[in-house]
């Protein structure tokens, strides 16, 4: 029997909790926007627009950490997540390690970004609604160091997300199992049989 396509037939396997699926794909969109904003800012000269772009970067970046908190709450409430495909102990370990590293980075990057802004004397406002207290004292050298950590951590995050997404696609198109389908919204993965 042919393996069912993503868009068509029934998906009998276990589905990840809907809240986890929603938060997972929303986080992907947010990270794309957060990185997109700093890239666009590189090409902008006008000061007011640069400030708007970095403020939006900060606020959306903080949302990544808030969504990660919500995700952890869902995972704790629904633990343990059932396996969605057969995996060797090594595959299982690598997947867990990458997921753990992604969680660490979803908290660490926003925190380093906040610290970097504080060290540079820049207040961090959450969408203009609340201004967060400075995380560290103003110090130019510290600001430079945090900027390097922030950039390094961002590259690490992007590299891990790339490897993680490639593994998900390999599961779907090469191993032809249900790992990706379990993480897709119901309308994409197909109804349960
Ligand atoms: C997951 C969340 C985040 C990601 C993926 C991310 C990623 C990045 C990237 C790729 C850059 C450009 C690095 C460079 O070229 O130097 C950057 C710069 C920056 N980010 Fe973030 N960031 C995140 C969250 C935050 C947060 C929450 C804040 C502050 C509250 C923040 C503050 C900054 C600042 C101030 C810069 C400019 C640094 C400079 O010009 O040296 N970031 N971020
Ligand atoms: C195109 C991009 C992406 C694809 C195709 C993808 C695919 C998947 C799939 C299929 C799973 C289920 C794995 C399993 O059940 O063992 C998963 C889980 C997971 N993904 Fe992604 N993902 C992507 C982007 C991201 C991003 C941007 C992050 C965070 C920075 C992320 C973090 C996670 C985490 C932590 C899990 C474990 C389940 C959870 O706690 O939500 N993924 N992903």
CATH 1.20.950 fits 18-186, yes or no: yes
Closest ligand (CA of 120):
1
For the segment 32-42, the average pLDDT, to the nearest whole number, is 98
Cβ of 54 below 6 Å from ligand 1: yes
Residue ID of nearest Cα to ligand 2 atom 14: 179
CA dist 59 and 157 (Å) reads: 18
Residue whose pair of structure tokens reads 């998900």 in the numeric block: 168
The C-alpha atoms of residue 99 and residue 88 are separated, in whole angstroms, by 17
More confident residue, 86 or 24: 24
Counting from 1 in the atom list of ligand 2, the atom nearest the Cα of 105 is 30
From ligand 1's centre to the CA of 40, what distance in Å?
Answer: 13
pLDDT digits (tens, 9 = 90+) for 117-147: 999 999 999 999 999 999 999 999 999 999 9
Residue 15 and residue 182: Cα distance in Å, rounded?
4
Q: Is the pLDDT of residue 186 over 80?
A: yes
Q: Are 94 and 170 in contact (CB under 8 A)?
A: no
Task: For the chain, give every domain's residue range.
Answer: 18-186
Statement: residue 8 has pLDDT above 50:
no
For residue 68, report the distance from its CA to the centre of ligand 1, in Å. 17
**Ligand 2 centre distance from Cα of residue 164 (Å):** 7
Contacts of residue 60, defined as CB under 8 A and 6 or more positions apart, other chains included, come to: 30, 33, 34, 37
Q: Which ligand is nearest to the CA of 78?
A: 2
Helix-helix angle 47-77:18-42, to 10 degrees: 160
Residue entry with tokens 């992604």? 102
What is the reported pTM?
0.93
């Amino acid at each position: 029997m042919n393996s069912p396509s993503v868009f068509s037939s029934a998906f009998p396997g276990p589905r990840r909790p809907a809240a986890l699926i929603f938060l997972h794909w929303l986080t992907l969109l947010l990270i794309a926007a957060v990185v997109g904003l700093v890239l666009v800012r590189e090409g902008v000269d006008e000061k007011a627009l640069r400030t708007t772009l970095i403020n939006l970067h900060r606020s959306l970046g903080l949302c990544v950490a808030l969504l990660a908190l919500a995700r952890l709450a869902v995972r704790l409430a629904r633990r343990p997540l059932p396996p969605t495909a057969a995996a060797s102990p090594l595959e299982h370990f690598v997947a867990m390690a990458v997921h753990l590293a992604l969680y660490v980075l979803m908290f660490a990057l926003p925190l380093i970004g906040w610290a970097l802004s504080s060290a540079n004397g820049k207040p961090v406002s959450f969408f203009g609604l609340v201004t967060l207290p400075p995380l560290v004292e103003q110090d130019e050298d510290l600001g430079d160091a945090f900027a390097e950590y922030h950039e390094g951590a961002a590259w690490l995050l992007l590299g891990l997300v790339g490897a993680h997404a490639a593994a998900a696609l390999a599961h779907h198109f090469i191993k032809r199992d249900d790992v990706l389908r379990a993480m897709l919204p119901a309308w994409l993965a197909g109804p349960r049989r």
